[in-house]
Amino acid sequence: MPDEPWWKSAVIYQIYPRSFADSTGDGVGDLEGIRRHLDHLEWLGVDAIWLSPFFRSPMADFGYDVSDYCDVDPLFGDLDAFDRLLADIHGRGMRLIIDWVPNHSSSEHPWFIAARSSREDPKRDWYFWRDPHPDGTPPNNWKQAFRDAPAWTLDPTTDQLYLHLFLPEQPDLNWGNPDVEAAMHETLRFWLDRGVDGFRMDVIHAIGKDPALPDDPPEVAALPHSSLNDTPFTHQLLRRIRALLDSYTGDRMSVGEVFLLDTAKVGTYLRDQLHLAFNFPPLFTKWRSYRWAKQLDDAAAYIEPNGWPTWVLSNHDVVRHRTRYGSEDRARAAAVLLLGLRGTPFLYMGEELGLENADVPPDRVVDPGGRDGCRAPLPWDRSRGHGWGEPWLPFPPDAAARSVEALRDEPESILHLYRELLAQRKASPALQLGDQERIEVADGALAWERARGDDRRVVAVNFTDEAVAVPNLQGTVVVSSDRLGEGETFTGTLGPDQAVWLRV
Ligand code: NOJ
């Protein structure tokens, strides 16, 4: 689409590198594994890849604890492997965005090792250090994520506590120190100069702390503090990050993880700040028409005035939506919904296979946040190892039947449905960039029209397992979640769990 930045019409596919493809047989995915499987993504029709962290890391939080922002962890390859991957992605006309983790480093980052070595160290102020209260309690009531415990850990060498909104192995960087800001800008430049098309920015809403580090209000004091942060300082920092990205040619972009479960607040991170922001209320919304109606209306009310929406059903932090919604039929309808919405859709690797969360027995649990089930490796083929060495996590259920190889052989599979949706979306200006207007239909269903110029599509989704009459919807079926009746005139009734795109 000329005149519009690529990321507005793109479908972006998230790869969790540990679990995508293993080229070495060590049971952990790697960059070369990704490169060797780009055919799958090209065949599927995705426009861009978001790669979760592959940087040097002690892996306390599986890569979201970075000990060198400008290098590849040997587990995943090296910078040459990264350059080869990026060149191959670009050679196929796709884009690459990478994860940037600016709120905290690893406790093994040289910056933190220096900071904790002495109270006088020049890097001391790159992190947050405080004395406990006289009664020994922590400096404030903030809670860390994943555990019911304070966001503070005592460092015995210098006898002060440091702040960490996540694990103790993830100390928070002090963006109030201009040297931190400059150093982190350098890490962006490092990857921009290498040619990446943008960044997914981890817990970006938390980077600008109020230097007073005030207590959380009592009603939320039991929640992880990262989900509450929203300071004017963060917005200032984001404007400077935006200026940096925009100083490069080629539409470099940012998509921020603004983990505030309030769409109105998410909207305030756009305009001259982030290019895109994840809006997570839909991710936590039940499969009910009236709840989704509210999500569409909220995006229109709060995101649209400031920027362009995004839509996500699954990622590496939450139970897969195939499991949450409870059936393959709903997962298929959800794909028709997701790819029919106005905004940039993000797919999480494996949703195109209809993968469920893996069952992870207690002795194989590795993640401190209990998220292993959605991070299970992608099954590539029907063979016993599904294309992997002994994998770091168990496979999702029915891995042979759900493998890429098996589903490609089945023309009616969810994999082919995704491919068809992506192709139809790419062929339709209305679906890619068109306006969106809701159409009132019977309870249990949701419908909207997308329009751009002469191109018009109607999207209709039945959220129930009974047929719903929608007599006011007319058109020719372009795609149906059950793949029946393509090219036919729509009958005015949505079957159980059926979702359709109609050409009007
Ligand atoms: C959000 C990431 O998606 C999650 O995986 C990680 O644990 C936290 N941020 C901390 O970096």
- Would you please indicate which residues are annotated as catalytic (active-site) residues? 202, 257
Q: Nearest Cα to 339, choosing from 10, 6, 94? A: 10
Answer for the pair 447, 470: CB distance below 8 angstroms, yes or no.
yes
- Structure confidence at residue 1 (pLDDT): 55
* Residues facing 494 on adjacent strands: 468
Name the amino acid, one letter, at 384. R
pLDDT tens string 469-494: 999 999 999 999 997 556 899 999 99
Q: How far is the CA of 257 from the centre of ligand 1 (A)?
A: 9
Fold classification of 432-503 (topology level): Immunoglobulin-like (2.60.40)
Q: Which atom of ligand 1 is nearest to the CA of 52?
A: 3
pLDDT tens string 115-140: 999 999 999 999 999 999 999 999 99
**Whether residue 317 has its Cβ less than 6 Å from ligand 1:** yes
Q: Which atom of ligand 1 is nearest to the CA of 166?
A: 10
**Whether residue 166 has its Cβ less than 6 Å from ligand 1:** yes
Q: How far is the CA of 202 from the centre of ligand 1 (A)?
A: 6
C-alpha distances in Å from residue 251, one per residue of 3, 245, 254, 299:
11, 8, 10, 24
pLDDT tens string 428-453: 999 999 999 999 999 999 999 999 99
**Whether residue 348 has its Cβ less than 6 Å from ligand 1:** no
CA–CA–CA angle 20, 23, 28 (5° rounding): 55
Q: How far is the CA of 500 from the centre of ligand 1 (A)?
A: 34
Instruction: List the pLDDT tens digit at each of the 504 positions of the chain.
Output: 568 999 999 999 999 999 999 999 999 999 999 999 999 999 999 999 999 999 999 999 999 999 999 999 999 999 999 999 999 999 999 999 999 999 999 999 999 999 999 999 999 999 999 999 999 999 999 999 999 999 999 999 999 999 999 999 999 999 999 999 999 999 999 999 999 999 999 999 999 999 999 999 988 988 899 888 999 999 999 999 999 999 999 999 999 999 999 999 999 999 999 999 999 999 999 999 999 999 999 999 999 999 999 999 999 999 999 999 999 999 999 999 999 999 999 999 999 999 999 999 999 999 999 999 999 999 999 999 999 999 999 999 999 999 999 999 999 999 999 999 999 999 999 999 999 999 999 999 999 999 999 999 999 999 999 999 999 999 999 999 997 556 899 999 999 999 999 999
Q: How far is the CA of 47 from the centre of ligand 1 (A)?
A: 24
**Whether residue 367 has its Cβ less than 6 Å from ligand 1:** no
Answer for the pair 115, 121: CB distance below 8 angstroms, yes or no.
yes
Give phi and psi for 57, each to the nearest 5. Answer: -160, 140
Question: What CA–CA distance (Å, rounded) separates 248 from 244?
Answer: 7
Cβ burial, residue 363 (10 Å; 0-12/13-18/19+): exposed
Q: Which residues contact 219 (CB under 8 A, 6 or more apart)?
A: none
**CATH code of the domain occupying 6-101+198-203+256-425:** 3.20.20.80
Answer for the pair 92, 38: CB distance below 8 angstroms, yes or no.
yes
**Whether residue 101 has its Cβ less than 6 Å from ligand 1:** yes
Which one of 64, 105, 170, 374 would you pick to mutate in the ligand 1 pocket, going by the greatest count of ligand atoms within 8 A of its CB? 64
Q: How far is the CA of 370 from the centre of ligand 1 (A)?
A: 12
Nearest residue (CA) to ligand 1, atom 2: 202
Q: Where are the domains of the chain?
A: 6-101+198-203+256-425, 432-503
**Whether residue 165 has its Cβ less than 6 Å from ligand 1:** no
Answer for the pair 440, 425: CB distance below 8 angstroms, yes or no.
no
Which one of 103, 144, 203 would you pick to mutate in the ligand 1 pocket, going by the greatest count of ligand atoms within 8 A of its CB? 203
**Whether residue 203 has its Cβ less than 6 Å from ligand 1:** yes
Which one of 146, 227, 317 would you pick to mutate in the ligand 1 pocket, going by the greatest count of ligand atoms within 8 A of its CB? 317
At 392 the three-state DSSP class reads coil
- Structure confidence at residue 222 (pLDDT): 86
CA–CA–CA angle 214, 215, 217 (5° rounding): 125
Q: How far is the CA of 401 from the centre of ligand 1 (A)?
A: 31
Name the amino acid, one letter, at 364. R
| 6-101+198-203+256-425 and 432-503 in the same fold | no
**Whether residue 64 has its Cβ less than 6 Å from ligand 1:** yes
Q: How far is the CA of 64 from the centre of ligand 1 (A)?
A: 6
Q: Which residues contact 39 (CB under 8 A, 6 or more apart)?
A: none
Dihedral angle sign, alpha carbons of residues 378, 380, 384, 387: negative
Q: How many residues does the chain have?
A: 504
**Whether residue 260 has its Cβ less than 6 Å from ligand 1:** no
Which one of 55, 61, 204, 314 would you pick to mutate in the ligand 1 pocket, going by the greatest count of ligand atoms within 8 A of its CB? 61
Q: Which atom of ligand 1 is nearest to the CA of 257?
A: 1
Dihedral (Cα; 94, 272, 226, 261), 10-degree rounding? -80
Name the amino acid, one letter, at 193. D
Helix (H) or strand (E) holding 82: helix 79-91
Question: What CA–CA distance (Å, rounded) separates 205 from 259?
Answer: 7
Nearest residue (CA) to ligand 1, atom 5: 317
